Amino acid sequence: MTGGDLVADVLVKQGVPFVFTLCGGHISPILVSSKQRGIRIIDVRDEVTAAFAADAISRLTNTVGVAAVTAGPGVTNTITAIKNAQLAQSPLVLIGGATGTILKGRGSLQDIDQMALFEPHVKWMAAVERVRDLVPALEQAFEEAKLGVPGPVFVECPVDLLYEETLVRDLYGVSKPARSTSEKALHWYLGRHLKRLFKGADKVSASEPRRFAAVAASGGEVRRAASTLKQAKKPVLLVGSQAMLNPERVDNLAAAIDQLRIPVYLSGMARGLLGPDHPRHMRHQRTKALKDADVVLLAGVPNDFRLDYGRHVSRQAKTVSVNLSDHDLTKNRRPSLGILADPGSFLEALASEMGADGDETRWTDWIGVLRQRNDEREQNIAERAGLETDYINPLYLCREIDKVLDDDSVLVADGGDFVGTASYTIRPRGPLRWLDPGVFGTLGVGGGFAIGAALARPTAEIWLLYGDGSSGYSLAEFDTYARHGLPVIAIVGNDAGWTQIAREQVEILGDDCATVLRHTDYHVVAEGYGGKGLLLERPEDVPRVLAEAKEIARAGTPVLINALLGKSDFRKGSISM
C-alpha cells in the first residue's frame, strides 16, 4: 500500500469518476493507482485546463471535481482556474505534487513555496508531511470544498509520500551501506526521517464521506419574505449561480419558481433553469424591470458590477437577499431582509409558504408589461439579425445556432463580444446546460469546461462558443477531445479582433492598439489536432454547415466551425468595469 494507493482509495470513496491531469513524476503514483481502481484519467494539454474541467464536473454533477498536477510550474499553471472557481463559488479539489519532504528549500527540481502562493485563492489548504496523514487531509479537503460557501481547496502531496517505501529509501540513498562516519551520521538522520514519514501508514484507510444538509433559512425568515412578496405589486426575482449548487434538486427548484408566479431573470449557471420558453422568464430589459420593481428578490446574486453595485435596483424597492456568503449578502447595499442560507432550498421553502393555491392573477398586469418589453427587444434583435454585413452577421449566426440545438445540449461560453451576443439569442434548453466563467470574466475556460461537460453528459450535444481571441487559450485541447473520444462542437466567432475591447477603445482613445487579430484558419488548427474543421464564410451556408457539424459530432469526432463574422455594433457600450 503506497501513498498513491491511499489517495486513490479516498477518491473512490468520494465517488470521483475522473481525475484531470497533465502528467508529472511528482504525481504519477496517484494517477496509476486511480486508474487501477477504475477512475478515468483525463490528461490534457495545459494544467489550467485540468482545473477548469474539474470545475465543470463540480457544477454539473453532485461530485466534487478533482485535478492532480505536478509540482512547481504544474501547480502555478492552475492559478487562474483556481481563482475563477473561488469567485464562482465552485467546489474543487486540487492535488499538487511537491518536492520530497526533506529536500524543501534545498534547490530541488520545481521546488517553490506553493502554500504561500495558494493561500489567498483557496478556501482551505493542507501540506501533508506523513503518509498516514494523506487520507484525513484529503477527506477534510472534500468536506471543506462543499461546506458553507463552496470553493476550491488545495492539498500538497510531496513526492516521497506517494511511492513505495523501498523505492524512497533507494532514492534517499539509505539502502546502500555507509562507509564513513559522516555517511553513517547522514544515514541515521535520513533513517529517522523516513521512519517518521512512513510510520502508521498501514493503519489508515479511507472512510465513507459524510453528507451535509443545505444551510436552511429559519421558518421566521421564510414567513417574512413571503409576507413581503404578498404585499408586492411589481416583484422581480433574480436567480444566480449559487442557487444551482445542488444539481440533484434543480427540477425541484424550477418547480418552486414556477409555483411562485413571479417574473424572473436568470443569470450565470441558472440560465436555462426554466427551459427556453417559460412565460414568466424574461431575458431582456432587466435594468428597467429592477428600476420599476417594488420588491426585488436576489437569490444567490450579489450587488456587484453586474447590478451596477446595487444601483440597478430602485432605492424605493424592498430587497430580499438570500446568499450563503455573509459578505455578498450586504455587498454595496444592505437588503431590507438579508437571509444567510442556500438560495435554492430557500426558494423551495418560500414556494411552500406561499402555497400552491394562491391568486394566479396577482401580478398579471406587471408580467404583461415586462413581457411586452421583452418581446419588443426580441423583435429588435430579429430585425438587426437581418442586416447585411461583410461575412456573417453574428446575430444571424447565433439565432441559427439556437434553431438547431438539441434538447439534450450543453452550451459552454468562452469569449467576449461573440459570446455576449450569444447570451442574448441562444436559449439553453434546460437546467445545468449553460457554463460560463462567472464573475471573474475569465477567458480560457472553454477547453476545460467542454471536457468536463462532455464527460458529465456523455449523451449530450456539447457546444463550445469561442471568441476568436479566447480560442487561442485552449484550442490545443482538440487533441484531448480526439484522444478521449469527446465529440465537442466548437464555433469560433472569427471577427479578427478583440472586438469587445476594440469597440470602446477606438471610440474613447482613437487607437486599435493590441486589439487586431487575423482571420486565422482555426479550422485547420483543429484538424491538425485530430478534429474536423469547417470554414463558414457566407450566411447562406450557415444552416448546411451547422447540420454537417452536428452529424460529424454524432459520429464521434470533435469538430470546429471557423465562422467569419462581420462587424456589428449590437453590443456597443457593453464594457463593464
Cell of 4: 498513491
Over residues 382-411, the mean pLDDT reads 96
Highest mean pLDDT among 385-389, 454-458, 567-571: 454-458
CA distance 324 to 242: 8
Cell of 36: 487501477
What confidence category does residue 104 fall into, taking pLDDT thresholds of 50, 70 and 90?
A: confident
What is the per-residue DSSP string for 166-210? HHHHHHHTTTSPP-SHHHHHHHHHHHHHHHHHHTTGGG----PPP
User: Residues 108, 114: contact at Cβ < 8 Å?
Assistant: no
CATH 3.40.50.1220 in the chain: give the residue spans. 219-369
| CATH 3.40.50.1000 holds for 219-369 | no
Looking at the DSSP bridge assignments, the partners of residue 5 are none
Specify the pLDDT at position 212.
Answer: 84
Residue whose grid cell is 415586462: 370
Over residues 97-116, the mean pLDDT reads 87
User: Residues 95, 67: contact at Cβ < 8 Å?
Assistant: yes
What confidence category does residue 178 fall into, taking pLDDT thresholds of 50, 70 and 90?
A: confident
CATH 3.40.50.970 in the chain: give the residue spans. 3-203, 386-564
User: Residues 320, 298: contact at Cβ < 8 Å?
Assistant: yes
Helix axes 394-404, 364-385, angle to 10 degrees: 120
Q: Which residues contact 245 (CB under 8 A, 6 or more apart)?
A: 89, 150, 214, 324, 342, 344
Specify the pLDDT at position 359.
Answer: 65
How confident is the model over 497-541, as pLDDT tens digits?
999 999 889 999 999 999 999 999 999 999 999 999 999 999 999
How confident is the model over 51-83, as pLDDT tens digits?
999 999 999 998 999 999 999 999 999 999 999
Looking at the DSSP bridge assignments, the partners of residue 265 are 238
Is it the case that residue 108 has pLDDT exceeding 90?
no
User: Residues 563, 493: contact at Cβ < 8 Å?
Assistant: yes
Q: At 272, phi and psi to the nearest 5? A: 85, -5
Specify the pLDDT at position 349.
Answer: 97
CA distance 572 to 497: 15
Round the average pLDDT of the chain to a whole number and report it: 95
User: Residues 427, 272: contact at Cβ < 8 Å?
Assistant: yes
Cell of 87: 469567485
Specify the pLDDT at position 8.
Answer: 98
Is it the case that residue 473 has pLDDT exceeding 80?
yes
Cell of 234: 411589481
Q: Are strands 489-494 and 559-564 parallel, antiparallel or unpaired?
A: parallel
Cell of 256: 418552486
CA distance 56 to 451: 8
- CA dihedral sign, ordered 333, 337, 338, 344: negative
CA distance 115 to 113: 6
Over residues 193-217, the mean pLDDT reads 92
How confident is the model over 243-284, as pLDDT tens digits?
999 999 999 999 999 999 999 999 999 999 999 999 999 999
What confidence category does residue 214 fall into, taking pLDDT thresholds of 50, 70 and 90?
A: confident
CA distance 68 to 31: 8
What confidence category does residue 103 fall into, taking pLDDT thresholds of 50, 70 and 90?
A: confident
Cell of 436: 460560463
Over residues 454-468, the mean pLDDT reads 97
Residue whose grid cell is 521546488: 111
Is it the case that residue 47 has pLDDT exceeding 70?
yes
Over residues 23-28, the mean pLDDT reads 95
CA distance 29 to 33: 6
How confident is the model over 300-310, as pLDDT tens digits?
999 999 999 99
How confident is the model over 354-367, as pLDDT tens digits?
986 556 688 999 99
568 vs 434, higher pLDDT: 434
How confident is the model over 132-155, as pLDDT tens digits?
999 999 999 999 999 999 999 999
How many of the other CB atoms lie within 10 Å of CB of 387?
Answer: 12
User: Residues 290, 264: contact at Cβ < 8 Å?
Assistant: no
For residue 211, with 0-12 CB atoms within 10 Å meaning exposed, 13-18 middle and 19 or more buried, which class applies?
A: exposed
- CA dihedral sign, ordered 560, 561, 567, 573: negative
Over residues 327-341, the mean pLDDT reads 96
User: Residues 394, 387: contact at Cβ < 8 Å?
Assistant: no
What confidence category does residue 15 fall into, taking pLDDT thresholds of 50, 70 and 90?
A: very high
User: Residues 391, 537: contact at Cβ < 8 Å?
Assistant: yes
Task: Order the strands of the 40-43 sheet from edge to edge.
Answer: 40-43, 18-22, 65-69, 92-98, 152-158, 124-127
In CATH terms, the superfamily for domain 386-564 is: Thiamin diphosphate (ThDP)-binding fold, Pyr/PP domains (3.40.50.970)
Q: Which residues contact 544 (CB under 8 A, 6 or more apart)?
A: none
The CATH topology of domain 3-203 is Rossmann fold (3.40.50)
Specify the pLDDT at position 568.
Answer: 83
Is it the case that residue 577 has pLDDT exceeding 70?
no
CA distance 142 to 457: 23
Specify the pLDDT at position 575.
Answer: 65
Percent of the chain at pLDDT > 90 equals 88
